Structure formats: structure tokens, C-alpha cells
Amino acid sequence: DLVRCDLPVALMERAASTGWQAANQLLTGWGRRGHTLWSPPTRGLLAR
């Protein structure tokens, strides 16, 4: 669990989120569009 991300997620969610971030970065480098990442809110009533 050495990979950090700015999303408010736990262990397995972080693994999935950082995998998507890595894939999106590669796709961008190849001129392709990636996927939007959804996460829990970082501010407001439902923030963790």
C-alpha cells in the first residue's frame, strides 16, 4: 500500500482508483480519452 492518491478512499478502493489513474495516464499519452473517476465528496455534508 505504497501508492498515495488525493481521493478519500480506503485500501481496496485505493488500489482500484490508482489503477484507473495509471490507465488514464497511459491512454492520455497515446492520444486516447480515459474514464472519469468518481469518489466520495471531500467537502460538505457527506465528506469522510
45 in a structural domain: no
14 in a structural domain: yes
Q: Which of 30, 26, 19, 25 is nearest to 7 (CA)?
A: 19
How many residues can be counted in the chain? 48
Per-residue confidence (pLDDT) for residue 43, from 0 to 100: 79
18 in a structural domain: yes
1 in a structural domain: yes
- Its domain, for residue 30, covers 1-35
First to last CA, the chain: 20
pLDDT tens for the chain, 48 residues long, are 577 888 888 888 888 889 999 999 999 999 999 999 888 777 777 666
Per-residue confidence (pLDDT) for residue 3, from 0 to 100: 75
Q: How many CA atoms lie within 13 A of 8 on its CB side?
A: 8
44 in a structural domain: no
Predicted TM-score of the model (pTM) = 0.71
23 in a structural domain: yes
Per-residue confidence (pLDDT) for residue 36, from 0 to 100: 92
46 in a structural domain: no
48 in a structural domain: no
Count of domains for the chain:
1
